Amino acid sequence: MDMSSSIRILLIADTHLGFDLPFRPRVQRRRRGPDFFDNYERALQPALERKVDLVIHGGDVFFRSRIPMALVEMAMKPLIRVADNGVPVYIVPGNHERSRIPLQLWSTHPMIHIFDRPRTFLCTVGDTSIALSGFPFTRRIRDVFWELTEQTGYREVNTDLHFLCMHQIVEGAQVGRINYTFRSGPDIIRGKDIPGAFKAILAGHIHRGQILTHDIQNLPLAAPVIYPGSIERTSFAERNEEKGYVIVQFDNSAALGNQYEISFVPLPTRPMVKLTLEAEGWSAGDVERWLRARFSELHQDSVVQIQPLGSVSDQVLQSLSAPYLRSLAPSSMNVSMAFAYHRRRRLKV
């Protein structure tokens, strides 16, 4: 496809900036927070190089709603560079922001747009007019999806390309190692409710990158639902998932048809490894030898979770302190202990 005759959209979502990034850490150890920021910068590089025409963030910019202003400034610097470079940025507030983005100081930037309420933004790329409709994350979306979409005013807009931006679950989306499929519920949008006015739904909230084209009954959706997934693995349920972002490329003739290409661009991620410790009848020395052997077999940058199974003596449990595990593992690793729920205990290292 000729680059000069196409519209290129960079879709990123679920960056969860601030995850494991305390500003006043009580313990000096390797943190995973910089991994998220590194991939955030990598994902925005095409926009900084003006290889895309606009950027859409599908929500959950941050890992929680109440964050220090220093973190907001860190997150906004790359977006400001993108916007100052002439590439417009559109942001959907996600559930981790409690449906609002704490970006008041930057909301007046002419190239940064936030879906702080149901609304539609217009822009022009070359000779192509583009409309982006959207709304912030909404709980119990199933019964209000139609109303919120109507409130964006999308029906009143005559444009070449029209997209819906949101941070929600659409039926058929899958997550987890067992491919759990969202089918029905108050927080799940029915496939049949997707309006046909949009060329595509550009969405966040689902951490696995995927494209939905059919509903649960295998009937075609009126528009594809595109999830780029998260830029980093936020839990061990995602340990086998590739992470990245998406470039959606529409030919200028897409206004007359539905010609598009979707490219998933992978981002580097550290190995995540889950170790099962069956230490029934073991001494603390046995456990130490086992841990040293396992750590020596793993990549030095691994993110490791250890889960004891069966009956483990109190002596062994008491020995598995955070300082002790840090003394065994390479300083480049992240290690956590995940105990059975009945123990009500989880130890991060």
Domain boundary among 267, 302, 335: 267
pTM: 0.92
Q: Does residue 341 sit in the same domain as residue 280?
A: yes
DSSP conformational letter for 184 = S
> Which of 28-32, 255-259, 335-339 has maximum average pLDDT?
28-32
- Whether 341 shows a pLDDT value over 70: the answer reads no
38, containing H or E segment? helix 33-48
Per-residue confidence (pLDDT) for residue 254, from 0 to 100? 44
Residues 6+ apart with CB under 8 A from 66: none
Domain boundary among 235, 267, 299: 267
Q: Considering the chain, what percentage of its residues have pLDDT values greater than 90?
A: 73
Structure tokens belonging to residue 118: 């149901």
- Whether 192 shows a pLDDT value over 60: the answer reads yes
Q: What is the CA radius of gyration of the chain?
A: 22
Phi, psi for 179 (deg, rounded to 5): 55, 50
Q: Does residue 213 sit in the same domain as residue 343?
A: no
310 close to 280: Cβ distance less than 8 angstroms: yes
Q: Does residue 255 sit in the same domain as residue 279?
A: no
Per-residue confidence (pLDDT) for residue 221, from 0 to 100? 98
Structure tokens belonging to residue 294: 């396992």
Structure tokens belonging to residue 102: 């704490």
Rounded to whole angstroms, what are the CA distances from 264 to 9, 67, 190, 231, 285?
A: 12, 30, 25, 12, 47
213, containing H or E segment? strand 210-214
Q: Does residue 259 sit in the same domain as residue 327?
A: no
Q: Does residue 205 sit in the same domain as residue 75?
A: yes
Cα 134 to its chain centre, rounded Å, is 18
- Whether 58 shows a pLDDT value over 70: the answer reads yes
Per-residue confidence (pLDDT) for residue 33, from 0 to 100? 96
Structure tokens belonging to residue 140: 């119990």
* Domain membership of residue 7 as a residue range: 3-267
pLDDT per position as a tens digit, 214-233: 999 999 999 999 999 999 99
Pairing of strands 169-170, 188-189: parallel
12 close to 257: Cβ distance less than 8 angstroms: no
CA atoms of 283 and 309, how far apart (whole Å)? 15
Residues paired with residue 112 on neighbouring β-strands, in sequence order:
89
CA atoms of 163 and 55, how far apart (whole Å)? 13
338 close to 307: Cβ distance less than 8 angstroms: yes
Q: Does residue 262 sit in the same domain as residue 301?
A: no
Per-residue confidence (pLDDT) for residue 340, from 0 to 100? 56
CA atoms of 112 and 160, how far apart (whole Å)? 22
- Whether 195 shows a pLDDT value over 80: the answer reads yes
CA atoms of 218 and 215, how far apart (whole Å)? 5
Pairing of strands 180-181, 174-175: antiparallel
Q: Considering the chain, what percentage of its residues have pLDDT values greater than 70?
A: 91
Report the interhelical angle of 69-84 vs 33-48 (nearest 10°): 20
- What does the pLDDT average to over 155-183? 95
> Which of 40-49, 61-70, 271-280, 323-332 has maximum average pLDDT?
40-49
Place of tokens 């949008």: 189
CATH of the domain at 129: 3.60.21.10
* Mean pLDDT computed over every residue of the chain: 90
242 close to 208: Cβ distance less than 8 angstroms: no
CA atoms of 158 and 161, how far apart (whole Å)? 9
- What does the pLDDT average to over 95-110? 72
Q: Does residue 305 sit in the same domain as residue 215?
A: no
- Whether 348 shows a pLDDT value over 50: the answer reads no
Domains identified in the chain, total number: 2
122 close to 131: Cβ distance less than 8 angstroms: yes
pLDDT confidence tier of residue 5, bands split at 50, 70 and 90: low
Domain boundary among 211, 245, 267: 267
89 close to 107: Cβ distance less than 8 angstroms: no
- Cβ neighbour number for residue 208 with a 10 Å cutoff: 18
Per-residue confidence (pLDDT) for residue 252, from 0 to 100? 65
- What does the pLDDT average to over 59-84? 92
Q: Does residue 195 sit in the same domain as residue 291?
A: no
- What does the pLDDT average to over 124-138? 95
pLDDT per position as a tens digit, 7-34: 999 999 999 999 999 998 888 899 999 9
- What does the pLDDT average to over 42-58? 98
Q: Does residue 127 sit in the same domain as residue 231?
A: yes
Residues paired with residue 347 on neighbouring β-strands, in sequence order:
337
Q: For 93-113, b where at least 16 C-beta lie within 10 A, e where not — what string? A: bbbbbebebbbeebeebebbb
SS3 341: helix
